[in-house]
Amino acid sequence: MHTPTGSLLRLATAGSVDDGKSTLVGRLLHDTKQVFADQLDAVERVSRERGLAGADLALLTDGLRAEREQGITIDVAYRYFATPRRRFILADTPGHVQYTRNMVTGASTAQLAVVLVDARHGVVEQTRRHVAVAALLKVPHVVLAVNKMDLVDYQESVFAPIADEFAAYAQALGVPEVTAIPISALAGDNVVDPSRAMDWYAGPTLLEHLENVEVDHDPRHCAARFPVQYVLRPQSSEFPDYRGYAGQVTAGAFRPGDEVLVLPSGKRTSIAGIDRLGERDVDVAFAYQSVTLRLADDVDVSRGDVIVPADRAPEVTQDIVATVCHIADRPLRAGDRVLLRHGTSTVKALVRALDSTLNLETLVRDPGPSALHANDIGQITLRTAAQLPLDDYADHRRTGSFLLIDDADGATLTAGMVGVPLGTAAEG
Amino acid sequence: MTKETELTVVDERHAVDPAPETPTTGNEPMRLDHLDALEAESVHIFREAAAEFERPVLLFSGGKDSILMLHLAMKAFWPAKVPFGLLHVDTGHNFPEVLAYRDRTVAEHGLRLEVARVQDYIDDGRLRERPDGTRNPLQTVPLLDAINSHRFDAVFGGGRRDEEKARAKERVFSLRDEFGQWDPRRQRPELWSLYNGRHRAGEHVRVFPLSNWTELDVWQYIDREGIALPEIYFAHQREVFQRGGMWLTAGEWGGPKDGETVQARSVRYRTVGDMSCTGAVDSTAVSLTEVIAEIAASTLTERGATRADDKLSEAAMEDRKREGYF
């Protein structure tokens, strides 16, 4: 095991069942020394029991007994590994059942997605779906891992056209950065260690790329957002008049003195001071820090409000047009009354219309569906009972996203993204 | 340190490419290292749960993960007090140093502590001792009773996804039915940082703020923050005997048996649980730095090395989770 000292990278993997995703994840864990002797013993024991010749690294990511017995798949398993440069959180999404919903979940927090293809098959329909989900969820970096290069004699002439086709498709969908890497997860080529069989490839191994890719957006470039989570009023002898608004900066940066608006009310004030987890009066609070803001004026602020820069405020509205991924097994229909969770706010909402469904393979939007079923991607129109400060998801992943929730039992129904980034209307 | 090298690189980048459109006074690198990022995420989770639930409680054993949770909770609500109390499910097989630490901490910070005692259940016959003497699996009933009688609707647990494969699929907000059971079918996908804590009457939610931490992160953060731990986490001389490949402390709860010999060794604990099934590891590490070095070089997982209860079967943790265990 390595002692990490660098930043944290969240990534998601996507691949069809036979693309070797489990082997790749097992290989990453194994070759970065995250697999311990007792885990490897267990893998070797089970491999023997199943009559396999060697240790099947895919077993490192094997499912729960409950999943096998009930034939269900729990959407995402999280894996952890580290190198001296970085700590990684890998969202491992099963490829077969409930695929879209799983990948949407994994991709929602990912800064990078690894899409696997089989070198023998190249870019297939499933690959197009994977890229479309990554593009839809605005995952900033996509890596194409062309796997099983050992089965095509490690030939550049196989790899290059796949990489070109993939890059063209991803860029057309608006994926900002694509990197293609030829690998063999089974043999270990270019996963952690450079391949000796592919002299023609001069780029990084997959792990080198994961270690070095620049994923932090610069908070200086981004309009700041601060959903208020909790009001801190100690009313203690030491802090008799302290009133602070606790939350996580979801984008950009705030400094004392900044002119801000409290949304949705629109009241204007300025930041009097920023405290960070017991550290008083820090100079700046930037994206993903958890901090406490103190405001100059005695304005009414509570959980659910969003504090934003006065000159870069989002629209405040009750009408939402959004792209959604339906999650629950019960379908979503026009006329449904639901709860909408946005940032730290929960409001009542009405599904006014199901506008279309998006075919992830053709990127054509079919109008007027009667219902959205689990794993459907669609465009819907909502009306909320209260005003919400909504960002376009393309600009702000955290304040441009929401959930629809069933008021009766609290189930999460639908994941939503404000705006309609992908697809063209069906002809005729 | 590699960390300083990284920060220097970032500084150079900003010096070459200053952001033009946003007026800034400082040139400080706006980047979180992995511990900062994990801390910010855990604090976010604590604040979400405190705001969304009416009666949360934090499971506190005096073990390092619960100590870390309390530390994060105090930071999350500073300068106000932590807006929930602590619950200890006491197996009765405690390390005295850990109980002393627990009581000291509660007194120092003016916290509320509820204790649910496995011993009480054994004394009045509601629970029976297991043949192997371990009481970890017996904690589930007192835990669920305490949740019901205090009407806790959210229970903060220190579980981490890196611990075990049944935990790898655990949610940050994990819904439990009215019997405290974890049903994989009813777990809700968690997207972005939107945690859905809605539940029906009688149900509750387990909240895991340390979901994304690894054992090494925990130790590195404890080191960085200068958090005090019970002494048993550091190398000390102890009378131990070997069972199932682990060093167990000699005591009245079932050891040593015939053929097991007691010897004094320099050991430390990686986890702290029921004394009868929590093993010590050979160690000379007397400081956090030395502990971290030993962990980084270890070839066994934390639970594999030190928890007899997880060796019961391949699905031991999964079974206990389903029944309402931590």
pLDDT tens-digit series, residues A207-227: 999 999 987 677 778 999 999
Average pLDDT on A331-357 reads 97
DSSP string, A17-64: GGG-HHHHHHHHHHHTT-S-HHHHHHHHHHHHHTT-SS--GGGGG---
* Torsion sign over Cα B221, A37, A106, A19: positive
Asked whether the predicted pLDDT for residue A340 surpasses 70, the reply is yes
H/E element holding A293?
strand A290-295
Q: Give yes or no for a cis peptide into B256 (omega within 30° of 0).
A: yes
Q: Do B40 and A42 touch (CB under 8 A)?
A: no
Average pLDDT on A302-310 reads 97
Identify the CA nearest to A113 among candidates A124, A123, A127.
A127
Reported confidence tier of residue B66, pLDDT bands at 50, 70, 90: very high
The whole-angstrom separation of Cα A206 and Cα A81 is: 14
H/E element holding A168?
helix A156-172
Asked whether the predicted pLDDT for residue A388 surpasses 90, the reply is yes
Q: Do B198 and A405 touch (CB under 8 A)?
A: yes
Q: Do B43 and A397 touch (CB under 8 A)?
A: no
The pLDDT assigned to A12 comes to: 94
Beta strands in chain B (DSSP E): 56-59, 85-90, 113-117, 154-156, 173-176, 204-207, 236-243, 246-249, 263-269, 280-282
Average pLDDT on A99-104 reads 87
The two structure tokens encoding residue B306? 């030190």
The pLDDT assigned to A65 comes to: 64
Asked whether the predicted pLDDT for residue B297 surpasses 60, the reply is yes
Strand-pairing partners, residue A228, are: A247
The two structure tokens encoding residue A174? 């608006």
Reported confidence tier of residue B9, pLDDT bands at 50, 70, 90: very low
Q: In degrees rounded to 5, what are phi and psi of residue B171? A: -85, 165
The two structure tokens encoding residue A135? 């593009």
A141-200 residues touching B, CB cutoff 8 A? none
Residue to mutate among A111, A277, A347, with most B CBs inside 10 A, is A277
Q: How many C-beta atoms surround the C-beta of residue A155 within 10 A?
A: 13
C-alpha distances out from residue B121 to B58, B116, B132, B136, B138, Å: 22, 9, 18, 13, 9
The pLDDT assigned to B312 comes to: 45
Q: Do A1 and B297 touch (CB under 8 A)?
A: yes
A277-336 residues touching B, CB cutoff 8 A? 277-278, 283-284, 286-290, 292, 303, 327
The pLDDT assigned to A16 comes to: 75
Residue to mutate among B72, B192, B211, B220, with most A CBs inside 10 A, is B192
Name every chain B residue with its beta carbon within 8 A of the beta carbon of A292.
Answer: 78
Q: Which of B14-23, B208-217, B264-273 has the lowest mean pLDDT?
A: B14-23
Can you tell me which residue has the tokens 């820069």?
A309
| Domains of chain B, start order | 34-215+316-323 (3.40.50.620), 230-311 (no CATH)
Q: In degrees rounded to 5, what are phi and psi of residue B105? A: -65, -45
Residue B165 to chain A, least CA–CA distance (Å): 7
Question: Between B6, B34, B47, which is nearest A246 by CB?
Answer: B47
Q: Do A6 and B2 touch (CB under 8 A)?
A: yes
Q: Which of A15-24, A176-185, B42-51 has the lowest mean pLDDT?
A: A15-24
Strand-pairing partners, residue A88, are: A9, A81
Q: Do A234 and B161 touch (CB under 8 A)?
A: no
A242 touching B, CB under 8 A? yes
A216 touching B, CB under 8 A? yes
CA-nearest residue to B314 within chain A is: A42
Name every chain A residue with its beta carbon within 8 A of the beta carbon of B295.
Answer: 1
The pLDDT assigned to A27 comes to: 87
Q: For chain B, how many residues are written?
A: 326
The pLDDT assigned to B14 comes to: 34
Reported confidence tier of residue B305, pLDDT bands at 50, 70, 90: low
Q: Which of A126-140, A231-245, A362-376, B238-252 has the lowest mean pLDDT?
A: B238-252
Asked whether the predicted pLDDT for residue A259 surpasses 70, the reply is yes
Asked whether the predicted pLDDT for residue B23 surpasses 50, the reply is no
Average pLDDT on A141-150 reads 96
Name every chain A residue with its beta carbon within 8 A of the beta carbon of B161.
Answer: 78, 80
Name every chain B residue with its beta carbon within 8 A of the beta carbon of A36.
Answer: 298-301, 304
The two structure tokens encoding residue B228? 């005090």
| Domains of chain A, start order | 7-216 (3.40.50.300), 220-309 (2.40.30.10), 315-425 (2.40.30.10)
The pLDDT assigned to B100 comes to: 93
Q: Do A229 and B33 touch (CB under 8 A)?
A: no
Residue to mutate among B160, B194, B319, with most A CBs inside 10 A, is B194
Q: Which residue has the higher pLDDT, B189 or B8?
A: B189
Q: How many C-beta atoms surround the C-beta of residue A330 within 10 A?
A: 13
Reported confidence tier of residue A309, pLDDT bands at 50, 70, 90: very high
Name every chain B residue with its beta carbon within 8 A of the beta carbon of A287.
Answer: 30
Q: Do A283 and B28 touch (CB under 8 A)?
A: yes
Asked whether the predicted pLDDT for residue A336 surpasses 60, the reply is yes
Average pLDDT on B283-300 reads 85
pLDDT tens-digit series, residues B75-122: 999 999 999 999 999 988 888 889 999 999 999 999 999 999 988 988
A28-87 residues touching B, CB cutoff 8 A? 36-39, 42, 62, 64-67, 70, 72, 74-80, 82, 84-87
A123-142 residues touching B, CB cutoff 8 A? none
Q: pTM of the prediction? A: 0.90
Ranges A1-15, A233-247, A409-423, most confident? A233-247
B112 touching A, CB under 8 A? no
Query: Over chain A, what is the mean pLDDT?
Result: 90
Can you tell me which residue has the tokens 């400060």?
A389
Q: Do B301 and A39 touch (CB under 8 A)?
A: yes
Q: Which of A53-62, A93-102, A206-215, A417-426 has the lowest mean pLDDT?
A: A53-62
Query: Over chain B, what is the mean pLDDT?
Result: 83
Q: At what angle do helices B64-77 and B96-109 cross, to 10 degrees?
A: 10
The pLDDT assigned to A416 comes to: 97
Residue to mutate among B9, B25, B30, B175, with most A CBs inside 10 A, is B30
pLDDT tens-digit series, residues A268-304: 999 999 999 999 999 999 999 999 999 999 999 999 9
The two structure tokens encoding residue B118? 């496995």
3-state secondary structure of B294: helix
Please say whether the beta carbons of A60 and A46 come within 8 A: no
Q: Do A38 and B187 touch (CB under 8 A)?
A: no
pLDDT tens-digit series, residues B255-279: 787 778 888 999 998 888 777 778 8
Q: Which residue has the higher pLDDT, B149 or A18?
A: B149
Name every chain A residue with its beta carbon within 8 A of the beta carbon of B44.
Answer: 229, 248, 290
Q: Is the ipTM of this complex over 0.85?
A: yes
pLDDT tens-digit series, residues A10-69: 999 988 767 888 888 888 888 887 666 667 677 777 777 777 766 666 666 666 666 656
The pLDDT assigned to B132 comes to: 73
A257 touching B, CB under 8 A? no
Q: Do A218 and B162 touch (CB under 8 A)?
A: no
Residue A76 to chain B, least CA–CA distance (Å): 6
Please list the alpha-helical segments (H only) found in B150-256.
215-225
State percent of chain A over pLDDT 70.
Answer: 90
B213-242 residues touching A, CB cutoff 8 A? 214, 216-217, 220
The pLDDT assigned to B21 comes to: 40
Q: Do B80 and A216 touch (CB under 8 A)?
A: no
B47 touching A, CB under 8 A? yes
B9 touching A, CB under 8 A? no
Average pLDDT on A126-136 reads 91
Q: In degrees rounded to 5, what are phi and psi of residue B249? A: -75, 135
Please say whether the beta carbons of A214 and A197 come within 8 A: no
Asked whether the predicted pLDDT for residue B4 surpasses 70, the reply is no
Identify the CA nearest to A110 among candidates A223, A16, A8.
A8
